[in-house]
Amino acid sequence: MLEDFQGKGLLIHHWDTDGICSAALLLTELQGKDLTNWTPTIGAFYLTDDQIKWAQDFDYIIIADMSLPRENILALAEKTNVTIFDHHHQESIREINHRNPVAYGEPAEDYPSCTWVIKEQLSQQVNLYHLLGLIGDREHKIKDNPKFWKIIQNYCKEHETSFEELTELVQLIDSNQKVGDKDAVEEAPILLTSYSRAEDILKNGLWRSNLQRFHEKLKEVLAESPDEVNGVLMKRLHTKYSIISSVTRSIAWGTGRNTVIVNQGFFPQHDQLYARSSLVDMSPLIARAKILGFNAGGKKDVLGAIVPKESSDSFVKEVVEFLKE
């Protein structure tokens, strides 16, 4: 398959640890090729018309860990060859090279990260970046998946490290997107291809500074308790930090409760909405958001959506109604 990537290529990847590590794995596999890695606007799970037009000039496009709208993908495919590596719940796109086992009916539990999809698709040996992708997307929840928790434990034993130390690496890589540093996000996969040890990640001064800024903001936000609406925990934010996912995880996983967070300050015309549940399958809610025309995606236990401000209140009510205990 890799021999099909000829000419000038574009690698579009998500801005979180799984996306960054996925990009690093692909850059390593395609070393020596004319390949540019790029991430869309942080927080926006779609491409603008101008971004699509720019991307169409490349000979091929690889998309990693980004559930972009089907219409975006088909628009790109009109002018160039498109390959997707992903693990999110999405419809299969047979018009392109769609490497997402979950989209073709495989259990999501078997593919907790995009890095693992890449490992399987490209027959790679397990390495640090595969595991950071797993932990980045699932955090401590990966311990509930016996197969992958055993793989992580074996790696830790072999390399004399710990789950907590791997989590610290994830936090450092994630810090760039959380403070909105897009340049650092795009530089990160390139740096990871040159790093030979975990210590190289720990010594990155910019990432450590970004992480400190993020922790200060997260502490400030979490200091105020969420409201409760029909048994669902609710919180509204107004910040430019890409913090909504971390806030949702902290509250949902810390309480075991269904949680909805809305950030009204990230986009000028839209609200960010995240919902998490360990009790309810979110897949129908993701489908409902897409039917309403919102940019939305997620997995069985999480919904992420970008909602026009004029539709935000009504959709929040619908989400709470879906999740109410």
Query: How does DSSP assign 11-76, residue by residue?
Result: EEE-SSHHHHHHHHHHHHHTTTSEEEEE--STT--S--HHHHHHHTTSSEEEEES----HHHHHHH
d(CA 135, CA 163): 9
Per-residue pLDDT band at 298 (split at 50, 70, 90):
confident
pLDDT recorded at residue 159:
95
Helix axes 163-178, 182-194, angle to 10 degrees: 140
Closest CA to 270 of 209, 324, 315: 315
Instruction: Give the model confidence (pLDDT) of 27-66 as tens digits.
Output: 999 999 999 999 999 988 889 999 999 999 999 999 999 9
Instruction: Give the model confidence (pLDDT) of 233-285 as tens digits.
Output: 999 999 989 889 889 999 998 999 999 999 999 999 999 999 999 889 998 99
pLDDT recorded at residue 325:
60
C-alpha separations of 162 from 155, 158, 169, 200, 215 in Å: 9, 10, 11, 17, 22
Q: What is the DSSP letter of 110?
A: G
pTM: 0.85
Share of the chain above pLDDT 90, in %: 87
Rounded to an integer, the average pLDDT of 103-120 is: 96
pLDDT recorded at residue 242:
87
Instruction: Give the model confidence (pLDDT) of 117-172 as tens digits.
Output: 999 999 999 999 999 999 999 989 999 999 999 999 999 999 999 999 999 999 99
- What are the structural domains of the chain? 2-205 (3.90.1640.30), 226-323 (3.10.310.30)
pLDDT recorded at residue 52:
98
Mean pLDDT of the chain: 94
Per-residue pLDDT band at 324 (split at 50, 70, 90):
confident
pLDDT recorded at residue 313:
96
pLDDT recorded at residue 165:
97
Written as one letter, the residue type at 112 is P
C-alpha separations of 15 from 43, 44, 176, 179, 314 in Å: 9, 10, 8, 11, 29
Rounded to an integer, the average pLDDT of 289-308 is: 90
Instruction: Give the model confidence (pLDDT) of 64-102 as tens digits.
Output: 999 899 999 999 999 999 999 999 988 899 999 999 999
Instruction: Give the model confidence (pLDDT) of 192-203 as tens digits.
Output: 999 989 999 999
Per-residue pLDDT band at 105 (split at 50, 70, 90):
very high
pLDDT at residue 2 is higher than 80 = no
Query: What is the helix (H) or strand (E) element at residue 157, kind and residue range?
Result: helix 146-158
Which residues, including other chains, have CB under 8 Å from residue 133's CB and lie 6 or more apart? 17, 18, 21, 22, 113, 114, 115, 116
Q: Chain-centre distance of CA 317, in angstroms?
A: 25
Q: Both tokens of residue 284?
A: 């129908």
